[in-house]
A and B are shown apart, each in its own frame.
Chain A
Amino acid sequence: MTIFIIRRLLQSVLVLCFMSLLVFVGVYAIGNPVDILINPQADQADIERAIAALGLDKPLAEQYLIFLKQALAGDLGKSFAYNIPAIQLILERMPATLELALAATGMAVLLGIPLGLWAGLAPDSWAGKLIMTGSILGFSLPTFWVGLMLIMLFAVELGWLPSSGRGPTTELLGVALSFLSWEGIRHLILPATNLALFKLSLIIRLTRAGTREALLQDYVKFARAKGLSNARVVGVHVLKNIMIPIVTVIGLEFGSVIAFAIVTESIFAWPGMGKLIIDSINVLDRPVIVAYLLVIVSLFILINLAVDIVYSLLDPRVRISEAKG
């Protein structure tokens, strides 16, 4: 297990290096932030001086080597547009995004698995059919449209919930969290629902399909024949066996929620990392783009690792070994 984790981490370092190189080449090919941010009155000399002050006049290879050297010392550079360390910029936005992602994923899991089970156990009941129809809507309606509808209905028309933004934050162990106050939760409800909808539908459908399949398996029939209670058959024999695909999807979706919650964050003006990366790409703020992607790739690596470990806990046949890498 330890060797497995170490190997994984070593591979990750390679991935991170490659990714930073890609971003460097990509941003270099597009241009530099001075062309976008310099004031209109600046003359040619001012422009050249600003480019040189940011070190953007150097050849690409040299810029990358300087970055690598500083990165090894733990310094990912200062944001061009914010003039503060890029990593600090990302970390200060991270609680907002994690909070939103956790709330959305939590909603999706807590509602999705029971609903999916229900739909799987009673596929022909009206409730089962309703759940499945609802999940089709959750799949097919575009996120931004649903977000706008939620705002129009609950904020503009009914005035129950705030239209956008994050509520007041409270410091907990040095992390600014908003869900500890009622006002904060009120701000969180709409964006989290918006973000959860797609994942909820996904989990419902996965759970239902898995349940239907598992119910036909011999071991379920055997368990029933043995006279086990329905609750034990469903809760242990069915549920545990269908969890592997569901855990995989939850893991992947959690990662993608963190990295790509941009649509929801934009519509609800949620001050998370997704908004930051779009702003940074717009002004070619390379240190932030690089640092952001490094953070996101690291997160994905960690989530995948966690998923693999959960597999082995769920299914004793799965063994994490060195050979599997």
Chain B
Amino acid sequence: MVVQQARLAVASLICAALSLTGTPSAAAAELRIGLGADVTSLDPHFLNVAPNNNAAWHVFDALVHVDANARLAPGLAVSWRAIDPITWEFKLRKGVKFHDGSDFTAEDVVFSLERAATLAASPGPFASFVKPITAKEIIDPWTIRFKTAAPYAMLPYDLDSIFIVSKKAAAGATTENFNSGKAAVGTGPYKLVRFARGERIELARNDAYWGRQNGKLAAWDKVTLRILPADTARIAALLAGDLDAIENIPTADLTRLNTNAHLRLEQKVSWRTLFLHMDQYREHPPHLSDKSGRPLAKNPFKDARVRLALSKAINRRAIVERVMEGYAIAAGNLVSPPVFGHVDALKPETYDPAAAKKLLAEAGFPDGFALTLYAPNDRYVNDEQVAQALAQMLARVGIQTRVETMPASVYFAKARAGEFAFALLGWGSFSGDLALRALLATPNADKGYGAWNWGRYSNPKVDALLEQGFATPDEAKREALARAAASLALKDVPVILLHHQLASWAMKKSIAYIPRTDEYTFAHDFRPK
């Protein structure tokens, strides 16, 4: 697309701009941030997508927060525990006030959970997070109990996704009431001033905010979140001094921004992991043949040796260094290093094309075979280039690889319909067992397992470990189970792990940011230096 060409052009232009003189920053108490994706709505229960949640976190809180390392932290709830296998008790924070001055109590929690459960007609509803709760019981204004039908350890994780709105302000409110600000009454660090759809969100500091960093409130009286999805526009605005900070920097521009004397870069390993799904359930998967185009006698992906061979054929270091320009980490896990359930002992597969060829020969494919690698071209960082590099590496061990890429809007529908045998997917999860449940558990619609297991890998032992973990409220025990499940599953090479992305922010030299694994950009985490 033209805009992508434009991105390349701006990359080469930044060099020229390095000599620019920094324009004096606006009053120290104002922060202007450039966001990389459109915020469609400020109704925190309507559409569960990262850009909307990012905006909502400024105005609202959840019972449970996630810290910069993607671990759970107290939010509007100060503590939680399982008092019996099917009951969770949450102690709420006392003295918290909504932006309109009213008190936050358990009533607001019940109201918010119910609103999130019933708001229909959304392509990305929040209902799945509250579905396990069968009953809510208010013990006193600051104690609430949730019952589940079966033991369910993930409840605190799910409640991180449900924003708490004021019952008084949001009763009967529509999405438009939230957008206009009438119902957007939260307990978050900022109050909503104005939402100009597709353009900007203006915020003012909530001086009564409960959450402080080192005893201090957010550093900025006024915050403007500008919506700038075009990379070129975002970077130019930062260079021109129209913005103080931006998120989501294309890898091609990172090095140049990094060497700019007026700017600084903050980075953190993202929770997003890229990997390849392989069809392990059909006898004759589509787009898989011998090199002359004749169908294969059997599905090579059913043989673990072939899967391992493909994994060994991939030079992850080259992808990280060349395609990702150093802004990624080779992956040996489904979840990135800081995330719950990451197994340090699992290392990225070593690059060994000779061993790959040997394994292919042992599996009965001495001459390799031909396949088509499918990938989206607008979803992950450099996704198309990664796919092209993979194809060349696979070709070197005798796997003749054709690459086909398409926009995410086309890609995901086809992938879900099973049209691809070999396909790229990226995944962000704040717990290893949740990732395993979606990606590698045996697909089972009744249990909700394996919804994104495109290759239909199946290992009953992994399923059993996951089930056991989800019924274990003790975090340490559950993490051990999650690690055991991950180690067991990844031994079979059910997917080919590639790399974890790095998330990047660029800002003026005079400010600092606490970079986050979940890639969120929070105004309240920026500080003057």
**Residues of chain A having any CB pair with chain B under 8 Å:** 30-47, 49-50, 53-54, 78-84, 89, 92-93, 142-145, 147-148, 151-152, 155-157, 159, 162-166, 263, 266-269, 271, 275-276, 279, 281-284
Evaluate contact between A162 and B232: CB separation under 8 angstroms. no
Q: Are B179 and A84 in contact (CB under 8 A)?
A: yes
Task: Give the 8 A-B CB pairs with smallest separation, nearest first.
Answer: A31-B413, A43-B448, A44-B445, A37-B124, A163-B240, A33-B123, A83-B175, A144-B6
Mark each residue of chain B from 190 to 208: 1 if its CB lies under 8 Å from any CB of chain A, else 0: 0000001111100000000
Contact A164 B128 (CB under 8 A): no
Q: B440 CB to closest chain A CB, in angstroms?
A: 13
Q: Is B236 an interface residue (CB 8 A)?
A: yes
The verdict on B17 contacting chain A, using a C-beta distance below 8 Å, is yes
Are B242 and A40 touching (Cβ within 8 A)? no
Could you jot down 28 A-B contacts, CB within 8 Å? A30-B409, A32-B123, A36-B409, A37-B123, A39-B49, A39-B126, A40-B428, A40-B452, A43-B447, A49-B127, A78-B121, A142-B2, A144-B2, A147-B6, A152-B13, A152-B16, A155-B240, A163-B233, A163-B242, A164-B237, A165-B228, A263-B3, A263-B6, A269-B233, A279-B229, A281-B409, A282-B409, A283-B123
B213 within 8 A of A: no
Measured between beta carbons, the chain B residues less than 8 angstroms from A44 are: 443, 445, 448, 451
Which of B122, B226, B407 has the most chain A CB within a 10 Å cutoff?
B122
SS class of chain A's interface: helix, strand, loop or mixed?
helix
Beyond known contacts A41-B128, A44-B445, A267-B232: 10 more, CB 8 A cutoff:
A30-B409, A43-B451, A144-B5, A156-B236, A162-B242, A163-B237, A164-B237, A267-B3, A271-B227, A282-B408
Complex interface: chain B residues within 8 A of A54 (CB): 121-123
Q: Are A282 and B129 in contact (CB under 8 A)?
A: no
**A205 to B46 Cα, complex, angstroms:** 52
Distance of B365 from chain A, by nearest CB (Å): 33
Chain B residues, CB < 8 A from A35: 412-413, 416
Contact with A along B288-307 (1 / 0, CB 8 A): 00000000000000000000
| Residues B122 and A53 in contact, CB atoms below 8 Å apart | yes
Contacting B49 at CB < 8 Å: which of A37, A148, A279? A37
Select the stretch in B37-45, B320-328, B367-375, B488-496 that faces chain A. B37-45
Kindly list chain A residues whose C-beta atoms are within 8 Å of the C-beta of B449: 43
- The answer to whether B413 touches A84 (Cβ under 8 A) is no
Interface residue B239 (Cβ < 8 Å from any Cβ of A): yes
Give Cα A281–Cα B451 distance, bound, in whole angstroms: 25
Known: A53-B121, A266-B230. A45 touches B3 (CB 8 A): no
In the bound complex, residues from chain B placing their C-beta under 8 Å from that of A50 are 122-125
- Contact A271/B236 with A43-B449, A145-B6, A159-B23 known, Cβ cut-off 8 Å: no
Interface centre among A147, A165, A166 (most CB of B within 10 A): A165
A284–B228 CB distance below 8 A = no
> Given A31-B414, A163-B240, A269-B227, are A46 and B17 also a contact pair (CB < 8 Å)?
no
Whether B128 contacts A39 by the Cβ 8 Å rule is yes
Structural contact, B40 and A81, CB atoms closer than 8 A: yes
Q: Are the CB atoms of A162 and B240 closer together than 8 Å?
A: yes
- Give every chain A residue within 8 A of B408 (Cβ-Cβ): 36, 282
Contact A163 to B236, CB < 8 A, known contacts A35-B416, A271-B198:
yes
Which of A53, A157, A284 interacts with B125 by CB under 8 Å? A53
Which residues of the partner chain B approach A148 to less than 8 Å between Cβ atoms? Answer: 6, 9-10, 13, 232, 236
Contact present for B124 and A34 (CB under 8 Å) = yes
Given contacts A35-B413, A145-B6, A165-B226, contact A82 B41 (CB under 8 A): yes
Nearest chain-B residue to A144 (Cβ)?
B6
List of A residues within 8 angstroms of B127 by Cβ:
46, 49
Q: Which residues of B contact A53 (CB under 8 A)?
A: 120-122, 125
Chain B min CB distance to A39 (Å): 4
Closest to B446 in A: A45
Given contacts A37-B47, A40-B438, A152-B236, contact A80 B128 (CB under 8 A): no
- B427 beta carbon closer than 8 Å to chain A: yes
Interface string of B211-228 (1 = CB under 8 A from A): 000000000000000111
In the complex, chain A residues whose CB is within 8 Å of the CB of B126? 39
User: How many Å from the CB of A159 to the closest CB on chain B?
Assistant: 6
A42 touches B409 (CB 8 A): no
B241 at the interface (CB under 8 A from A): yes
Given A44-B445, A45-B445, A276-B198: A282 touches B378 (CB 8 Å cut-off)? yes
Residue B59, interface by CB 8 Å: no
Residues from chain A with Cβ under 8 Å of B176 in the complex: 84
B239 partner residues in chain A, CB cutoff 8 A: 156, 163
Q: In whole angstroms, how far apart are the Cα atoms of A163 and B407 in the complex?
A: 29
B459 within 8 A of partner (CB): no
B354 cross-chain contacts in A, Cβ below 8 A: none
| Shortest distance from the beta carbon of A31 to any chain B beta carbon, whole Å | 3
**Contact (Cβ within 8 A) A92 B123:** no
Return the contact of B233 from the options A93, A164, A281 (Cβ within 8 A). Answer: A164
Complex interface residues of chain B between 137 and 185 (CB less than 8 A to chain A): 161, 175-176, 179
Q: Is B345 an interface residue (CB 8 A)?
A: no
CA distance A36 to B413 in the complex (A): 8
Per-residue CB proximity of B1-22 to A under 8 Å, as 1/0?
0110110011001001100100
Q: Is B251 on the interface with A (CB-CB < 8 A)?
A: no
Asked, given contacts A44-B448, A263-B3, whether A82 binds B40 with beta carbons under 8 Å apart, the answer is: yes
CB contact between B123 and one of A40, A41, A81, A93 (< 8 Å): that residue? A81
**In this assembly, does B410 line the interface, its C-beta being within 8 Å of a C-beta of chain A?**
yes
Chain B hits for A79, CB < 8 A = 40
Question: Would A83 and B240 be within 8 Å (CB), given that A30-B409, A31-B409, A42-B128 are in contact?
Answer: no
CB pair B198–A267 under 8 Å, yes or no, is no
B504 contacts A by Cβ under 8 Å: no
Among B128, B198, B242, the one with the most A-chain Cβ atoms within 10 Å of its Cβ is B198
Assess whether B434 is interfacial by the CB under 8 Å rule. Answer: yes
